[in-house]
Amino acid sequence: MANRWMHVSEQDLQRIHETAVRILAEQGIELRHAAMRERLAGSGCAVRGNRVSIPPDLVADSLRTIPPSFTLYGRSTDRALEIGLDQTYCTNTGIFPNLYDFETGQIRRSTLEDVRTTSRILDAMENVHAVYVSLVDATDLPPHMNTVSDFAAVLANTTKPIIGPGVTSRAEAEAVVAIAGALRGGGAQELAARPPCIPFVCPVSPLSFPSDVVDALMVVAAAGLPLNALTNPVMGLTSPFTIASAMAVGHAEVLALAVMAQILAPGLPILNQNTPSVADMRSLSATTGGPETGLIRQTVILLSHYLHLPCCAHGHTSSAVPDFQAGEEKALNSLLIASAHPSLLGGLGALANLMVTSYETILLDNERNGALLRALRGVQVDPDHLAFDVLGELLETGTALGSKHTLRYLRSAEVWKPRLASREGLGSAEPGPRSSLERARAEARRLIAGHEVEPLAGETQRAIDGILAAYDRAQAA
């Protein structure tokens, strides 16, 4: 029986993919990087000025070389995630320039100290398996220091694997690779064998690849780090105003990044993060809260399964505060995405079309992740779960309360147990905050005061500090 959650057929997925391939072959990409144009020309691409047409056979050959999974490691190589299509892990979103201040309740610009604090909270979240760099941005630093300083601060404040950071130039990518290498003792081979992060690069929609972005891609590929191919066409602005077309444009951009990466480093792992959004045609801003977000990204995940590509998608909201709208939009979009089983399910922490976050939102979204992961585990049907013999005992005693079977499954993961939500309704006698938002605020305060992360080894921290200082001097010169 067809899965009614899924609104596209395999034929639809093939059409989207074929349209993206046709875009690359007939309309091509704008590539402002002479060396990469030469590499592509040598691989059979047609080059006309800055325009490059990528033939279908090259796309197909590149897809065949991308591994269907890869391992991402935490600070310690004992901690690892197998990023593929067989299991869904959860992560946050970023990089937000604004944060609700705990004390005033007002929005303010985020700082480097906020990067450290939010990273420590994410480190404590049981349903955040990898940290997306970073939840907030260090806007108190010079702009050229944001990405590298955010990355270094996250490394120092979580032991989990890292998604990101985004790199936009050769120098920025080299600094990120050097910082990641310092974590692995400076060895290039060890870094490639046990990557602690997945840097991402993002073209300019539609289908434009600036020279600096390609430089960053080349550095990541040379280091052997997995690449997060991130694209963001906006319906009505940088793509036609239909879901299918926006997806095809973004998919073409992902495929172009994949082709370039496989030419540079055959077999390099790729994470597909095609994230079209919808333009509000009155304000011309990109919005992420409508159900189209869930539909688009669910389809991206299904397309990733069709092509055997590891994938990441985020469920978001347009609400500026953690209110009913935020909960409703994120729950709907995240469930649509989760139903397609992404490699990574993101969205935690996001408010206001990716412009602001709050400490409470981290806790509330972490709890939602727990519910989503429970839903993905589904229903187990076997003799012990069907419990035919237990039913016989129940008919004799009139209750299952004293059954060893009840006790065993009560202590299992059969029924998910929330930490913030209340299941008692009006009958709750629990003292303290009554709303989940109030409980989230109290728990965030507790974690800020009490959750500690083991510091980096002294020589590692000194090496990272030296890299940051050298990068700052070079960029400020």
Question: Is 415 found in the same domain as 330?
Answer: no
pLDDT of res. 367: 96
Q: What is the DSSP string of 319-375?
A: -SSSSHHHHHHHHHHHHHHHTT--SEEEEET-BTTTTEE-HHHHHHHHHHHHHHHHH
In a domain, 347, yes or no: yes
Arithmetic mean of pLDDT, 438-446? 93
Angstrom distance (rounded) from CA 263 to CA 62 = 8
**Co-location of 372 and 388 in the same domain:** no
- Same domain as 96, residue 215: yes
Number of domains in the chain: 3
Residue 339 and residue 387 in one domain: no
Please state the separation of Cα 459 from the chain's center in Å. Answer: 30
Q: Pick from 337, 360, 377: which residue ends a domain?
A: 377
In-domain check, residue 457:
no
Whether 35 and 130 share a structural domain: no
Among 140-149, 256-265, 412-421, which is the least confidently predicted range? 412-421
What is the predicted pLDDT for the residue at 306? 96
Residue 431 inside a domain? The answer is no
Give the pLDDT confidence of 364-394 residue by residue, as tens digits. 999 999 999 999 999 999 998 988 888 888 8
- Using CA atoms, how far apart are residues 127 and 329, in angstroms rounded to an integer? 19
Do 35 and 180 share a domain, yes or no?
A: no
> Would you say residue 85 has pLDDT above 70?
yes
In a domain, 462, yes or no: no
Instruction: Give me the domain span that covers residue 212.
Output: 64-377
Give the contacts of 463 (CB within 8 A, at least 6 positions apart): 182, 186
150 and 50 belong to one structural domain: no
> Does 470 map to a domain?
no
**244 is written with which tokens?**
């299918």
Say if 367 falls within a structural domain: yes
Q: Is 193 inside any structural domain?
A: yes
Question: Does residue 259 sit in the same domain as residue 112?
Answer: yes
Mean pLDDT within 86-111: 94
Which has the higher per-residue pLDDT, 210 or 405?
A: 210
E-only strand ranges, 376-416: none
Amino acid 423: pLDDT? 79
What size, in residues, is the chain? Answer: 477
Q: Would you place residue 429 in the very low, low, confident or very high pLDDT band (cuts 50, 70, 90)?
A: low
Same structural domain for residues 133 and 264?
Answer: yes
Tens-place pLDDT, residues 160-183: 999 999 999 999 999 999 999 999
Question: Does 161 lie in the same domain as 36?
Answer: no
* Cβ-proximal residues to 128 (8 Å cutoff; 6+ apart), any chain: 90, 91, 92, 122, 160, 348, 366, 369
According to the model, what pLDDT value does residue 392 have?
A: 85
Q: What is the 8-class DSSP label of residue 239?
A: B
CA–CA distance, 186 with 209 (Å, rounded to integer): 31
Are 136 and 172 a contacting pair, CB within 8 Å?
no
Q: What CATH number did the domain enclosing 364 receive?
A: 3.20.20.480
Q: What is the pLDDT of residues 40-83, one digit of tens each?
A: 999 999 999 999 999 999 999 999 999 999 999 999 888 899 99
Residue 467 included in any domain: no
Calpha distance 28→253 (Å, rounded): 10
Q: What is the model's pTM? A: 0.94
Q: Is the pLDDT of residue 416 over 50?
A: yes
Evaluate whether 126 touches 367 at the Cβ level (below 8 Å): no
- Label residue 1 by pLDDT band (50, 70, 90): very low
Lowest mean pLDDT segment, chosen from 1-15, 46-60, 202-216, 306-320: 1-15
Predicted confidence (pLDDT) per residue in 326-338, tens digit: 999 999 999 999 9
Per-residue pLDDT, averaged over 203-232, amounts to 98
Residues 189 and 182: beta-carbon distance below 8 Å: no
Confidence of residue 106 (pLDDT cuts 50, 70, 90): very high
Cβ burial of 400 (10 Å; 0-12, 13-18, 19+) is middle
> Measured between alpha carbons, how far is 273 from 202 in angstroms, rounded to an integer?
10
Residues 319 and 417 in one domain: no
Q: What is the per-residue pLDDT for 426? A: 67
- 39 plus 71 within the same structural domain: no
